């Protein structure tokens, strides 16, 4: 079923919930610049296995409201808390891809993991997507700045250019069109502001505050959130497990969907 959760006047978050009576709940947060529909190949399978799957369009993306501000990690984590409270979620698995993974980490830190039994991170943009003086493993900040500038100047071309970065192997025109369609549902300003967030913000101090079992799934060929980010998360998050995806880039939930679904199901239990 589909519905909206009101965060505040003028800001409504779109929810796609599948199998509301499922035995265990997974709340999925998508990555930039996509929407809940990126998890299509999880929503096709996991509800049939007895899971309640809740897909969220974060503010500015998909079917959600597109306010002009509020795209830092704190606000995005606050939005997740509104959703958790509105749905009275307890003992659920919080799952996030890319920037959605970073948002999930900030939620765990900011709200002491309220309601969360387990955390699942997929190609997460943490502890820092970009290089820093004491963290040489991310992308050059200049690369993200170019994406931001392209978003302001020619967003359709930016989406076309960025799409191949998400995948390990060369992609078909159909897959490029799918990526473009999901990305173009977002607002231009949200696309740019979120890119500024994952360029400039970091989550080093958040990782040690995570106190629940954590699954880290990461493509070894990821060209967006490089694989050393996964190793850094594994080193800092207590009770975490890292599973490399040998044949995936940033879109491991698509490129190795059977393995992805199996690992997630086994982890959630």
By annotation, the residues acting in catalysis are 98, 222, 250
Class of 2-268 per CATH?
Answer: alpha beta
The mean of the pLDDT values for the chain is: 97
Entry pTM: 0.97
Backbone φ and ψ for 240, nearest 5 degrees, come out as -115, 155
pLDDT in tens, 18-55: 999 999 999 999 999 999 999 999 999 999 999 999 99
pLDDT in tens, 128-187: 999 999 999 999 999 999 999 999 999 999 999 999 999 999 999 999 999 999 999 999
How do the domains of the chain map onto residue ranges?
2-268
Buried b (16+ CB within 10 A) or exposed e, 231-244: ebbbebbeebebbe
Cα–Cα dist 179/183, whole Å:
6
pLDDT-based confidence at 8, cuts 50/70/90?
Answer: confident
* Closest residue by Cα to residue 70 from 227, 236, 189, 163: 189
pLDDT in tens, 62-73: 999 999 999 999
């Amino acid at each position: 079923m589909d519905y909206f959760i009101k965060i505040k006047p003028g800001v409504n978050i779109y929810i796609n919930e599948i199998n509301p009576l499922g035995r265990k709940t997974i709340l999925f947060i998508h990555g930039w610049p996509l929407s809940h529909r990126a998890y299509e190949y999880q929503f096709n399978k996991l509800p049939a296995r007895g899971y309640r799957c809740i897909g969220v369009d974060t503010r500015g993306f998909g079917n959600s409201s597109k306010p002009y501000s509020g795209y830092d990690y704190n606000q995005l984590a606050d939005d997740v808390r509104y959703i958790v409270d509105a749905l009275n979620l307890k003992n659920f698995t919080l799952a996030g891809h890319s920037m959605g993974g970073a948002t999930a980490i900030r939620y765990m830190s900011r709200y002491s993991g309220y309601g969360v039994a387990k955390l699942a991170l997929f190609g997460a943009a943490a502890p820092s997507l970009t290089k820093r003086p004491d963290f040489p493993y991310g992308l050059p900040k200049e690369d993200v700045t170019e994406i931001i500038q392209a978003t302001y100047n020619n967003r359709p071309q930016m989406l076309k250019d960025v799409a191949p970065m998400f995948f390990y192997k060369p992609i078909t025109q159909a897959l490029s069109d799918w990526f473009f369609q999901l990305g173009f549902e977002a607002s231009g300003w949200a696309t740019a502001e979120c890119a500024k967030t994952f360029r400039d913000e970091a989550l080093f101090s958040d990782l040690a505050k995570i106190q629940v079992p954590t699954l880290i799934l990461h493509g070894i060929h990821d060209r967006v959130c490089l694989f050393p980010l996964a190793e850094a998360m594994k080193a800092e998050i207590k009770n975490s497990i890292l599973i490399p995806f040998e044949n995936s880039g940033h879109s491991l939930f698509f490129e190795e969907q059977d393995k992805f679904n199996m690992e997630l199901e086994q982890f959630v239990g």
